[in-house]
Amino acid sequence: LRSCSPGRARRTNASRRAYLVGRFSDIYAQERLDAETLLRTYISDMEMVQRIIFIAAVESFHAAKMAYRQFKVRVRETLSLGHSGPESLEDTVLDYIVRHEDLYDVQASVNEVIRSMNINPKISFPPEIDFIVISTLIRELCRVAFSMQTLIPPLDIAFATDGELFSETRYHRSFDSDFTAALVAYHVWPALMENDVVIVKGEAVTKR
């Protein structure tokens, strides 16, 4: 194990949080649109393209959170053998993870996301193409989602389901929405949450 600086995670929490919230918004503005453009060369149905990207975001957070939990267990087991303080074991574990996020196997998470997307009944893809074409988007989302787990408190995306009541506090309506419709037809981008409070709105399409 490389040496770690006790208390680093807590000291840098605010600056890391600000960076990650900004990065999440940047991915929405840049990598998401790049993926959309790429998918449109294979799929003419814009709704399907947007569904694919949204599910990629949801699955990326799920895979990264799973990877973080497993990574944390391994680090705790290793550090507990020689831990003596002054910081708590939990703080020491968190400091280690923050310093060594480069040890996160992001490619394993990307592979897991693509596997999950391949069996998702809500989305389909031409058989000659693979979801790997949007692996850049998936990789960036996994990195951000993993790092967000090291924050106190961690950040996560809002649970979303087709047909739910549209929430002004959680989502912007897409420009092609029916603005009088009360229900979400499908989601374009997830909302970012901290302790059940929305800190970045997502995007949804409402239709009658």
Residue reference for tokens 């090291």: 150
Residue 181 has pLDDT above 90, yes or no: yes
Measured CA to CA, the distance from residue 117 to residue 104 in angstroms comes to: 21
Q: Parallel, antiparallel, or unpaired for β 171-173 and 202-206?
A: parallel
| pLDDT at position 208 over 90 | no
pLDDT band, very low/low/confident/very high, at 10 (cuts 50, 70, 90)? confident
Q: Where are the domains of the chain?
A: 8-153, 158-207
pLDDT tens figures, 102-155: 899 999 999 999 999 999 998 988 877 789 999 999 999 999 999 999 999 999
Element (DSSP H or E) covering residue 157: strand 155-157
| Higher per-residue pLDDT: 79 or 137 | 137
Cα distance between residue 96 and residue 7, in whole Å: 10
> Taking 80 as the threshold, does the pLDDT of residue 87 lie above it?
no
Residue pair 201/159 in contact (Cβ under 8 Å)? The answer is no
pLDDT exceeds cutoff 50 at 94: yes
